[in-house]
Amino acid sequence: MEKTYSVVFYSKELVDPVKKMKDFLRSKIDWYNSCNSEAHITICEFTIDDSKIDSIKQKLIKIADTFTPSQVHLDHFGFYEHAGAFYIAANEESKSNLIPIMKKIHEILKPLKLKKSEDPHLSIGRRLTSENLKIASELFTTIDLVFLCDSIVLREFNPAVKQFFVTDTFPFGNNPQPEFVQASLF
């Protein structure tokens, strides 16, 4: 049976403060996409037969072992007007730490048909109307959240409740693998 999964950066420290923001926005504009989703930064999403998920988990264990933990600083808001997404953005230093991790995960999962995120951000709302984007931008003007990014998380989509739930956590091992260099004998 095919199931949908996502690979994300996730920290329990962010769940409550972001939930309060989402609930506050919901009190102003009613229900909206992702209002019930727990705080996370999406790396990618894919659908796969559940009999093949163990091989994906093995790849994620191996790649996570090569990553080094780092502080992530979420310090401003932004929006993607075309997608109606309002989000919390990482500062430039945090982006420069997260983007290479995201790209390496995209690369090892390349054989799958991925929906990739290229820009690390934490969504507050998705598919918001222009009016609701404006309301969100007026409600939320300053933010300062910090968390230790020391793992990636695999989440499985539960179609009954239309939410993703954490199934596995892959800790960073701080064991960078040496790059293979092709050498000539002569």
At 186 the pLDDT is 47
Beta-carbon contacts of 25 under 8 Å, excluding residues fewer than 6 positions away, are: 32, 35, 86, 124, 125, 135, 136, 139, 140
CATH architecture designation of domain 2-171: Alpha-Beta Complex (3.90)
Tokens of 97: 């730490």
Q: What is the mean pLDDT of each run of 10 residues along the chain (186 residues)?
A: 97 96 96 93 96 97 97 97 94 97 96 94 96 96 97 97 96 78 50
**Residues in CB range of 39: below 8 A, 6 or more apart:** 10, 11, 14, 15, 17, 18, 19, 122
**What is residue 179's predicted lDDT score, i.e. its pLDDT?**
52
H helices of the chain, in order, are: 12-29, 53-64, 92-108, 130-139
- Predicted local confidence at residue 176, as pLDDT: 78
pLDDT value for 178: 57
pLDDT digits (tens, 9 = 90+) for 85-109: 999 999 999 999 999 999 999 999 9
- Domain locations along the chain: 2-171
C-alpha–C-alpha distance, residues 135 and 59, integer Å = 42
Task: Tell me if residue 153 falls in helix, strand or coil.
Answer: strand
